[in-house]
Structure 1
Amino acid sequence: MRQNVQNGLSCHSRGEEKVKLQVQRCYPRTWQPPS
């Protein structure tokens, strides 16, 4: 599994059950995404 880091952003790809779609969200590397 590859983690894309661009412009200081950490992108996390996950499947959203509610919308049945693969969603990719990017956060600042200093910010921890909700688990």
Structure 2
Amino acid sequence: PEIPFHSPATSLPYKVWQAVILDLFGARKGEKD
């Protein structure tokens, strides 16, 4: 899997980075809903 954009977080394991993304998206969705 690749990161769609360059970021310091790319140094983290992909699973960790994905978990962070999902957490952020989930938090934003929860706020909006």
Identify the TM-score tier after normalising by the shorter chain.
under 0.3
TM-score, length-normalised on structure 2?
A: 0.17
TM-score, length-normalised on structure 1?
A: 0.17
Higher RCO structure (Cα 8 Å, ≥6 apart): 1
Is the strand fraction higher in 1 or 2? Answer: 1
Is the helix fraction higher in 1 or 2? Answer: 2
